[in-house]
Amino acid sequence: MRRSGRLLCLLGGSALLPLAGGCSVRVLEPASETADEQAKLIALSFAIMVVVTATVLALLARFVYRYRERPGREPGLPEQTRGNRWLELSWIVVPILLLAVLAVPTVRLTMAQSPGAELPADDAEAQVVHVEVQAEQFAWTFRYAGGKTSHDTLYLPAGYTAVFHLQSRDVIHSFWIPKLGGKVDVFPDRETTLRLVDVKAGEYQGKCAEFCGTEHAWMRFTAHVVDPAAYEAWLAG
């Protein structure tokens, strides 16, 4: 699971930006099943796109090198070719095939993960915690089963699936814990939900991703994913 992330890093990040402080990019070091699926899809799309980009770069480099005007090259005009049916067909068909490879997992995961998607039936048995999240300029309030609340710190039991019920008191915000998965926007007068499957123990940065005003930069929280016993103790305490 972490391999996909590292691989991607290796290809992109550290190769180009050795200065930029090693290669820890949170999105590609997932700590939940949801984030893992997302990271894998990102890696797949990245791999396909590397192929495309590399092809273009190689052709570009070759053509520029080979056909650039330089002294000694025979003068006279190049042949005025206007196209070639088979070549042109190839760069219609191959991209379609590449996109199809990407489209299949895309559709599958989109149907499963999009906010508003039906919750899978086995959710009932699985270990699920529900958290009500209230966003306002520029703070987060979390309310847990039993009524306990916390501000700007979120507690979750490790190994559980977390379902967040998100509402805003003012403008639009967006709920994002990069290591645990992608974001969902938080609206006034409308509830959205976010489901993160199988969260791993650890301490993670949470952020507001939708611009919401003056202190948007600091509308943050910390997510503590702790073992279930510790979570129960915290809830009771």
Show contacts with other proteins in window 206-225 (CB under 8 A): 207-217
One residue of 7, 128, 172, 226 binding other proteins per CB under 8 A = 172
Distance CA 95, CA 98 (A): 5
- Identify what 107 binds: other proteins, Cu ion, none; CB under 5 to 8 Å per kind: other proteins
Sheet holding 173-177, edge to edge: 153-157, 220-226, 202-208, 173-177, 181-186
- Binding mask 83-122 toward other proteins (x if CB under 8 A, else -) reads xx--xx--xx--xx--x--xx--xx-xxxxxxxxx-----
Burial (CB count <10 Å: 0-12, 13-18, 19+), residue 172? middle
**DSSP per residue, 207-229:** EE-S--STTGGG-EEEEEEE-HH
Cβ nearer to other proteins, comparing 140 with 231: 140
One residue of 7, 11, 25, 128 binding other proteins per CB under 8 A = 25
The residue among 183, 180, 174, 191 whose CA lies nearest residue 222 is 180
Cα–Cα distance list, 46 to 8, 40, 69, 147 (Å): 7, 10, 35, 43
Nearest distance from residue 212's CB to Cu ion, in Å?
A: 3
Interface with other proteins includes 20 (CB under 8 A)? yes
Q: Which of residues 124-153 bind other proteins (CB under 8 A)?
A: none
Interface with other proteins includes 71 (CB under 8 A)? no
Interface with other proteins includes 227 (CB under 8 A)? no
Contacts with Cu ion, residue ranges (CB under 5 A):
173, 208, 212, 216, 219
